[in-house]
Amino acid sequence: ICETGDRLGSERWLPPTREGDVLAILNTGAYGRVMSSHYNLREPAAEVLI
């Protein structure tokens, strides 16, 4: 996420998670690797194709 106002969802509650859990975020548009950039000095998130 580039800016403080960016969201990948709201009012979506997840079950409790623990370190090592995997979270899938689908259909992220410009936040996927193909459209990503190093804007704001952020490294791209890991992306796995299933």
Is 2 assigned a catalytic role? yes
Q: Which residues contact 35 (CB under 8 A, 6 or more apart)?
A: 29
Q: Which two tokens stand for residue 1?
A: 């996420």
Q: Select which of 2, 8, 25, 45 is catalytic.
A: 2
Catalytic residues: 2
